[in-house]
Structure 1
Amino acid sequence: MTDWLFALVSEWGAIALGLVTFLSCLALPVPSSLMMLTAGAFAASGDLELATLALAALGGAVLGDQMGYQLGRVGLGAIEGWLSQSEARAAVLLRARASIHARGGMAVFLSRWLFSPLGPYVNFLAGGSRMAWLVFTLSSIAGELVWVGVYVGLGYAAGGQLAQVASLLGNVTGLATSLLLTIGLGVALWRRRRAQAAAE
């Protein structure tokens, strides 16, 4: 897969990067983070322009977030039905909903980079729950700036050690998301137990 990514980034550069970050924000399984690392490595070698790559990745991500938000506003029910067909996606959707209601704009910001697997679902739910567009947009842009900056910047800094950096970032993101899900489930169980105790 790494050779294919290198070829794609080398041949299509910023266009491919913008398209992939756009698609990733709509819950499509594309290797956006790995492509940003790869693009950063190409920029370090002088083959591609760093600023152009970063702007393309940021533009694609922000447009993808906006599309997800608008899809949520128009048809959250249909999207939820599709997402809930998979148990894994249904669980992530549940966490994303809880995060949106509890934290609003901060949930959008953190789901762009720290809890990135939740990001597309947060987009849909933010639109569906009628979160203020300006709050969503500003939080989205701020979070995407961090995401793009970290991944393209690390790719640029890593150069030849791209595989090791990609593995490390994947582990950190997976751990952060797992911790968030565990904490969320713990809080939900605690609230349920409290409600049952109050009812008795």
Structure 2
Amino acid sequence: MHIDAWIESVPPTAVYALIGLIIGLESLGIPLPGEVALVTATLMAVKGVVSPWGIAACAIAGAIIGDSIGYSIGRKGGKPLFEKLGRKFPKHFGPSHLATAERSFQKWGMWAVFFGRFIALLRIFAGPLAGALKMPYWKFLIANVLGGVIWAGGTTLLVFKVGKAIEPWLSRFSLVALAAAVVVGATSAWLMKRRAAKTHAKIEAEEAAKAAEALKAPVAE
């Protein structure tokens, strides 16, 4: 069963907790389709099954709390945690993915947490990596809260407004919205993987150059 069908099959009162849980786990560092789940729940709100304000609140809470837990895990586990995850889940936590995410943090600092909220693959790195890199928690919290509110709240508001505007064609819109969410997620993941591959190749080239220089260097007597 796909996640959208699963969300629609549970009692309305359980949808709120389910959305908060899915987005929280994704923010914590577990690769889950948070965007698809959020769009599905918001379309249910357009139909009057659940409240859009409740969905937005639970999504925002899940995003902020999940990222904060991920930050704590990353701060305690450090980079060895990512190396261990990379060996077990190379498709999501491989060295090239980690190197790309780390360079984003070095370039943007706390705003990598904010912008990472809008990139599917980077979203699972934001909290744990910020902790592993010892980013001050107050900086992380500001970017975390801003990113969570704008991403979760903004997505809910946008989908709800558009859904209400074309409610007579909601059945068609549901499929289009879910397809769009999947395409956006897949595209961002592809771009991230492509950039990760380039970063990995560059790192290998730099290491090879260093090794060559070390062989050429005269041995001290």
* Interval of TM-score (by shorter of Structure 1 and Structure 2): 0.7 to 0.9
Code of the aligned partner of 1:95: T
Runs of 4+ in 1 over 4 A off after TM superposition: 183-196
Q: If the length of structure 2 is used for normalisation, what is the TM-score? A: 0.77
CA distance in 2, matches of 1:190, 1:86: 22
Deviations 1:6-60 (A, max 9, x none): 1236340211111111111122243322221121112112221111210111001
Asked if the contact 1:38–1:155 (Cα under 8 Å) also holds between the matched residues in 2, the reply is no
Distance 1:9 1:116 in 2: 28
Q: For 2:97, which of 87, 92, 99 is the aligned residue? A: 92
* Secondary structure, aligned partner of 1:48: coil
* Residue 62 (structure 1) aligns with: 64
**Fraction of identical pairs, as percent:** 22
Q: Is the 8 A contact 1:9 1:17 kept in 2?
A: no
- The reply to whether residue 172 of structure 1 matches residue 176 of structure 2 is no
* CA apart distance, 1:137: 1.1
AA of the residue aligned to 2:100? R
Letter in 2 for 1:163: L
Work out whether residues 62 and 141 of structure 1, in 8 Å CA contact, stay in contact via their aligned partners in 2: yes
Contact 2:24/2:65 (CA < 8 Å) preserved in 1? yes
3-state secondary structure, aligned to 2:30: coil
| CA displacement, residues 80-129 of structure 1 (integer Å, 9 cap, x when unaligned) | 1332123222132222112111211221111101x121122221111011
Mapping of 1:44-55 within 5 angstroms? 44-55=46-57
Any conservation in 1 of the 2:28–2:66 contact (CA below 8 Å)? yes
Q: Distance between the aligned counterparts of 2:76 and 2:199, measured in 1?
A: 31
Residues 76 and 192 from structure 1, CA distance in 2 versus in 1: closer, same or farther, beyond 3 angstroms?
Answer: closer
Unpaired runs of at least 5, structure 1: none
- Written as runs of structure 1 = structure 2, the 5 A alignment for 1:9-20 is 10-20=12-22
What secondary structure, in the 3-state scheme, does the structure 1 residue paired with 2:69 have? Answer: helix
CA-based RMSD: 2.6
* Greater alpha carbon shift after TM alignment, 68-77 vs 172-181: 172-181
List alignment gaps of at least 5 residues for structure 2: 164-169, 217-221
Name the counterpart of 2:123: 119
1:194 deviates by: 8.5
Go from structure 1 to structure 2 and tell me whether the alpha carbon gap of 1:9 and 1:103 turns closer, same or farther (over 3 Å shift).
farther
**Mapped contact 1:95–1:184 kept (Cα < 8 A):** yes
Opposite residue 103 of structure 1, the aligned amino acid is W
